[in-house]
């Protein structure tokens, strides 16, 4: 008998699934929902305020878990990487970045990615499938940091807005006051910019958004990111310009900019990037390129990166340089490649 997995279902969906159980009460359904999402429990037997008979029935008919991590890598800087294998074709990695007072969970939304950005290891392995809302949540439920994390970023494997329904559902469950009750300001969604889904994300959620731009020039961005053919820079700039009042000091809009040596860190790049950032009221997160075997790009020197940052600051742009973490275990930005990790 295939058991129905309740993880990733919202309150109404769980209610519908449990409605045929004899003598179950509405308050029992609320108890189950809160055990899952407020107390992060995936074991019916430990739901102590439920009748024993109900717990037995739940165990017979339903499930609350997915496969546990098959490998955990730990870097010297404290970064961890969990490898999950959901089936033969669908494996993903989840990164945990420990930075003093902040523990950030970097969630994957797809196994692989269909967009093929030239600098990204995930994009080089192709697309192997979307994750369900339950599989997205399980990346948190199954790790050691379940009760210690401070922030969530949808910056792992895959393009979140290419799996928008599952991602939006996961966000809803994370932020539900009757469940996980996370502030949306502790969640950031990173995207290359899929126009219609981006608008939906801005309108229907309150999470921070990080736009992966990586070049302010059309022709060069097309060379780096094939998505430029479908959703060009100006299309995304127009969306952020129209919706810039939806962002504030609490809900942040950030331009993510990967710094590639001899490629996108010239004075003209800085001038155009600053112009766009000011137009859409965005801060800029400068990301040192993290080398991996799928790409021949190189990392600029520290001096080159600081000079580029100063050029942006001189234009009045809030620009920070992200500290690379987890490089030695291929957990840094753009390095996640899951089942293909054995090539390293």
Does the pLDDT value for residue 111 go beyond 50? yes
Banded pLDDT at 120 (limits 50, 70, 90): confident
Strand 102-106 versus strand 71-74 pairing type? unpaired
Selecting among 117, 120, 201, 333, the annotated active-site residue is 333
List the domain boundaries for the chain: 4-63, 71-343
Does the pLDDT value for residue 77 go beyond 90? no
CATH number of this structure's domain 4-63: 1.10.150.530
Residue with tokens 């001038």: 271
CA nearest neighbour of 322 among 283, 296, 293? 283
Could you give the CA distance from residue 30 to residue 49 in angstroms, rounded to a whole number? Answer: 11
Selecting among 42, 93, 120, 201, the annotated active-site residue is 93
Q: How many CB atoms lie within 10 A of CB 98?
A: 18
71-343 matches 4-63 in CATH topology: no
Determine contact, residues 109/164, Cβ cutoff 8 Å.
no
Could you give the CA distance from residue 223 to residue 219 in angstroms, rounded to a whole number? Answer: 7
- 3.30.70.380, 3.20.20.70, 3.30.70.260, 3.90.45.10: which CATH number matches 71-343? 3.20.20.70
Using alpha carbons only, how large is the chain's radius of gyration in Å? 21
Could you give the CA distance from residue 38 to residue 179 in angstroms, rounded to a whole number? Answer: 5
Task: Average the pLDDT over 183-202 and give the result.
Answer: 97
Q: What is the largest CA-CA distance in the chain?
A: 70
Determine contact, residues 336/330, Cβ cutoff 8 Å.
yes
Q: Say whether pTM exceeds 0.85.
A: yes
- Residue 333 known to be catalytic: yes
State pLDDT tens for residues 199-220: 999 999 999 999 999 999 999 9
């Amino acid at each position: 008998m295939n058991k129905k997995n309740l993880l990733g279902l919202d309150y109404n969906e769980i209610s519908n699934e449990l409605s045929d159980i004899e003598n179950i009460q509405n308050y029992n359904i609320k108890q189950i929902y809160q055990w899952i999402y407020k107390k992060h429990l995936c074991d019916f037997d430990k739901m102590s305020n439920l009748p024993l008979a109900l717990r037995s029935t739940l165990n017979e008919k339903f499930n609350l878990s997915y496969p546990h991590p098959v490998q955990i890598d730990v870097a010297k800087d404290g970064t961890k990487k969990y490898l999950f294998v959901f089936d033969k074709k669908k494996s993903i990695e989840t990164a945990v970045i420990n930075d003093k007072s902040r523990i950030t969970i970097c969630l994957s939304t797809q196994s692989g990615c269909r967009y093929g950005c030239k600098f990204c290891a995930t994009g080089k392995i192709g697309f192997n499938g979307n994750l369900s809302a339950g599989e997205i949540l399980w990346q948190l439920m199954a790790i050691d940091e379940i009760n210690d994390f401070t922030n969530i970023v949808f910056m792992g494997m895959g393009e979140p807005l290419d799996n928008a329904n599952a991602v939006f559902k996961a966000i809803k469950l994370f932020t539900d006051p009757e469940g996980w009750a996370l502030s949306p300001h502790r969640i950031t969604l990173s995207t290359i910019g899929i126009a219609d889904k981006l608008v939906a994300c801005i309108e229907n959620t309150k999470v921070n958004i990080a736009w992966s731009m990586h070049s302010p020039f059309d022709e060069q961005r097309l060379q780096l990111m094939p998505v430029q053919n479908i959703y060009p820079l100006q299309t995304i700039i127009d969306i952020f310009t129209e919706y810039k009042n939806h962002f504030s000091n609490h809900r942040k809009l950030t331009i993510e900019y990967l710094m590639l040596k001899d490629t996108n860190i010239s004075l003209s790049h800085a001038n155009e990037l600053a112009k766009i950032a000011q137009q859409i009221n965005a801060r800029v997160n400068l990301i040192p390129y993290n080398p991996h075997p799928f790409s021949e790009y190189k990392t600029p020197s520290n001096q080159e990166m600081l000079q580029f940052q100063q050029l942006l600051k001189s234009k009045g742009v809030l620009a920070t340089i992200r500290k690379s973490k987890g490089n030695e275990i291929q957990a840094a930005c753009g390095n996640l490649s899951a089942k293909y990790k054995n090539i390293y």
